[in-house]
């Protein structure tokens, strides 16, 4: 049927007519190689605790860690970032720097048992201190420079245990320089650093703090994590970490900070990672359980948005689920 609009020259819908052509001209793709899976390791034996606020996410004792590693490999995920829940905590987070700490044990187990798994370790003290803050407390606040010494000891112990990469998350000034120096001084100059360079003081971390037992026992983290209102400060933080020797720059959280991911990408030549954090995960899970959204479609759309914003790497609790869907494509 002819119409007065037959002579329109520009018809973008021509490239949307079916899935075949849509895939042909698609601009952004998500691949399982983009994904890193967070894994929570807890002291003890025969433990697999589902985290109430994070459906399908568990704490594993080392003797049951094989269950998660096997499931990840089956889904095609070969990269993990480890978070530890120790048997005991103290004011200086001694387990974090112990060669027999929970993370150090987990690294050795994974590297000895799963040669295909690339092990990244979160480097911070909040999971190991009895006060729940990310460093050494002096006069009611985290002392930046004293904390750097402990972070150096922590990364060296991780490297000795066999970690493939370290990921400092405490937002201490100068942490990348201190960690790079500590690694190099002990012969670990080939271990890359993925810096939580642009980490905001976010309400989206709530479920993680339950998972990692890392809620501060007093105050908050606003003196070291970033103000969510700030953009230029985030670029400054990223560039400082580039200058200090970071190999990958991370933005955390992801969904509420897509603009920051994009700006960091524009301002550095390093790979850019983002952390699809616990609150973002739990909101999708909760809405899906209510029947309000299609979980798989919303999950994939969210992850694609992070890639579209400029993230090369996505840390996500959806790693297995997303990769399993990608395997079917």
Tokens of 256: 């509420």
Which residue's structure tokens are 């200058």?
Answer: 243
Question: CA 4 to CA 27: how far, in whole Å?
Answer: 32
What is the rounded CA–CA span in Å between residue 142 and residue 150? 12
Pairwise CA distance, residues 214 & 296, whole Å? 29
Integer Rg of the chain from CA: 21
What is the residue whose two structure tokens read 């709530």? Answer: 206
Q: Mark whether 252 is an active-site residue.
A: yes
| Contact present, 49 and 58 (Cβ < 8 Å) | yes
> Considering Cα of 105, then 41, then 168, then 173, what sign does the dihedral take?
negative
Cα gap 92→95, rounded to integer Å: 9
Catalytic residue among 74, 111, 160, 199: 199
How far, in whole angstroms, is CA 215 from its chain's centroid? 18
Which of 252, 265, 285, 307 is an active site residue?
252
- Helix axis angle, 278-289 to 295-309, nearest 10°: 150
Measure the CA–CA gap between 65 and 46, rounded to whole angstroms: 10
Alpha carbons 128 and 111: distance in angstroms, whole number:
23
* Catalytic annotation present for 160: no
Do you find a cis peptide bond into 15, omega within 30 degrees of 0? no
Q: How many CB atoms lie within 10 A of CB 292?
A: 10
324, exposed or middle or buried, with CB in 10 Å at 0-12, 13-18, 19+? middle
List the structure tokens of 161: 């245990």
Token couple for 164: 């493939």
For the annotated catalytic residues, the residue numbers are: 199, 252
């Amino acid at each position: 049927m002819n119409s007065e609009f037959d002579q329109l020259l520009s018809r973008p819908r021509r490239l949307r007519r079916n899935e075949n052509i849509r895939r042909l001209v698609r601009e952004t793709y998500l691949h399982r190689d983009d994904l890193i899976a967070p894994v929570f390791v807890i002291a003890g034996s025969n433990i697999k605790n589902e985290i109430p606020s994070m459906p399908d996410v568990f704490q594993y004792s080392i003797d049951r860690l094989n269950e998660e590693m096997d499931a990840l490999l089956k889904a095609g995920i070969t990269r993990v970032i480890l978070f530890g829940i120790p048997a005991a905590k103290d004011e200086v987070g001694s387990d974090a720097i112990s060669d027999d700490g929970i993370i150090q044990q987990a690294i050795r187990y994974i590297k000895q048992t799963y040669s295909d798994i690339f092990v990244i370790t979160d480097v911070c003290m909040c999971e190991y201190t009895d006060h729940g803050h990310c460093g050494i407390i002096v006069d009611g606040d985290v002392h930046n420079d004293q904390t750097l010494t402990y972070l150096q000891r922590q990364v060296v112990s991780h490297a000795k245990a066999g970690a493939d990469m370290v990921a400092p998350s405490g937002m201490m000034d100068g942490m990348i320089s201190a960690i790079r120096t500590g690694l190099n001084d002990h012969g670990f100059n080939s271990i890359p650093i993925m810096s939580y360079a642009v980490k905001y003081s976010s309400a989206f971390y709530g479920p993680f703090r339950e998972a990692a037992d890392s809620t501060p026992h007093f105050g908050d983290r606003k003196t070291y994590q970033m103000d969510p209102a700030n953009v230029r400060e985030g670029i400054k933080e990223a560039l400082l970490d580039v200058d200090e020797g970071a190999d990958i720059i991370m933005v955390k959280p992801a969904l509420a900070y897509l603009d920051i991911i994009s700006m960091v990408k524009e301002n550095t030549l390093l790979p850019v990672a983002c952390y699809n954090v616990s609150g973002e995960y739990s909101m999708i899970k909760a809405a899906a359980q209510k029947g309000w959204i299609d979980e798989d479609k919303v999950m994939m759309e969210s992850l694609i948005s992070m890639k579209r914003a400029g993230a090369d790497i996505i840390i996500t609790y959806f790693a297995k689920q997303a990769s399993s869907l990608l395997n079917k494509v």
